[in-house]
Amino acid sequence: MEEMLKELKAQIEINISEIELIQIQIEKYFEHMDTKEKKVKLDVLISELKALFTENNQLIHMQLILISYIEKAKKTGEMINETQLFFDLGYGLSTEEDVIFNLTVNGELTFDQFHPMFGDKNFFNRLMDYNIATEAYEKCGELIEVKYFPYLPVTLKANDFLIKSWNTN
């Protein structure tokens, strides 16, 4: 476990170095922000930063869990429950909801009135949070439309039909 802690610390240090390099690049782009191409490059760099910050937070969380297990083992002399440790580190088995969530965000399962988790408010919030984090704002709009206005497209089509038929008479 101590070796794992060293590896996590090394990866965090690598990520911090990459973050610093990206920040320098961003500052350079800000100095000469005159084209759309540079704006796109800047957006890519910012996305990379967010990913590195997220990864670092996860690695630090893993370090804290490992440290607490090591300290508890040293104090009590008990063996470490590896199954519980892996679960606490996030390596536990996926729940049915996790499987459905992954299928939904990957587009393999459509979120609509027939979705198995359509009525689950927490699942919907989790989908929204995921799409906000990945900056898929159009998808957020689609989710809101499906969740709160499920019959709107049908209604609009019916209205269009009535308007067209009225105008032809």
Of the pLDDT bands very low, low, confident and very high (cuts 50, 70, 90), residue 27 is confident
Predicted pLDDT of residue 154: 47
- Rounded Cα distance, 91 and 62, in Å: 11
pLDDT in tens, 130-160: 888 788 889 998 999 888 876 655 444 455 5
What is the sign of the dihedral through the CA atoms of 64, 70, 76 and 80?
positive
Predicted pLDDT of residue 104: 93
The gap from C-alpha 14 to its chain's centroid, in whole angstroms, comes to: 22
- Rounded Cα distance, 139 and 132, in Å: 9
pLDDT in tens, 46-78: 878 888 888 888 788 788 888 887 888 788 888
Q: What is the largest CA-CA distance in the chain?
A: 88
Predicted pLDDT of residue 153: 52
Q: Which of 57, 70, 69, 64 is nearest to 12 (CA)?
A: 57
- Rounded Cα distance, 147 and 121, in Å: 10
The pLDDT of 26-43, averaged and rounded, is 75
Q: Which of 110, 142, 140, 107 is nearest to 125 (CA)?
A: 140
pLDDT in tens, 88-119: 666 655 578 888 888 999 889 999 888 999 98
CA angle 76, 78, 83 (to 5 degrees): 130
pTM: 0.42
Per-residue H/E/C for the chain: CHHHHHHHHHHHHHHHHHHHHHHHHHHHHHHCCCCHHHHHHHHHHHHHHHHHHHHHHHHHHHHHHHHHHHHHHHHHCCCCCHHHHHHHHHHCCCCHHHHHHHHHHCCCCCCCCCCCCCCCHHHHHHHHHHHHHCCCHHHHHHHHHHHHCCCHHHHHHHHHHHHHHHHHC
- Rounded Cα distance, 123 and 129, in Å: 10
pLDDT at 22 over 60: yes
The pLDDT of 9-33, averaged and rounded, is 83
